[in-house]
Amino acid sequence: MEQGGFIKKLPQAEVIDLRDIITVEEQQVSSLTLVQRPSLAMTLLSLDKGSSIGGHSSPGDAMVNILSGHARITIADKEYNVMAGETIILPANIPHALYAEEAFQMLLTVVKPDKKEVRISEKGSRA
């Protein structure tokens, strides 16, 4: 079936295995953006064994679904071993990093407040 709609680069109305969409490349971090909107991003990523994504933070909550392999994920100062089939939430504005204990693939979904939500929460905090 053809691609299109709101989720890009994937066929619609067809059963797929996301592990077949993004492959692990030797000594690389690879990514494929599926959705990019102000309040929502969905990205497939793959990291080869020994690769990493250094410490950073995001203004939104990030849900990491490990599709294959084994990731070591650091949130603040705590480490988590996340295996294929497992999911972890990386809280907004908290530093985190990822390291490939073995090659892994993941689906990353980041949800950020939209501008209206930010304005409401800012007003609420000033009251």
Q: pLDDT tens for residues 10-66?
A: 999 999 999 999 999 999 999 999 999 999 999 999 999 999 999 999 999 999 999
Domain that holds residue 25: 18-112
Are 90 and 53 in contact by the 8 Å Cβ rule? The answer is: no
In a domain, 51, yes or no: yes
Q: What CATH number is associated with residue 78?
A: 2.60.120.10
Count of other CB atoms within 10 angstroms of residue 107: 19
In a domain, 120, yes or no: no
The reported pLDDT for the residue numbered 72 is: 99
In a domain, 23, yes or no: yes
Are 73 and 65 in contact by the 8 Å Cβ rule? The answer is: no
Q: How confident is the model at residue 5 (pLDDT cuts 50, 70, 90)?
A: confident
In a domain, 72, yes or no: yes
State how many domains the chain has.
1
In a domain, 38, yes or no: yes
The reported pLDDT for the residue numbered 114 is: 83
State the pTM of this model.
0.86
In a domain, 105, yes or no: yes
In a domain, 8, yes or no: no
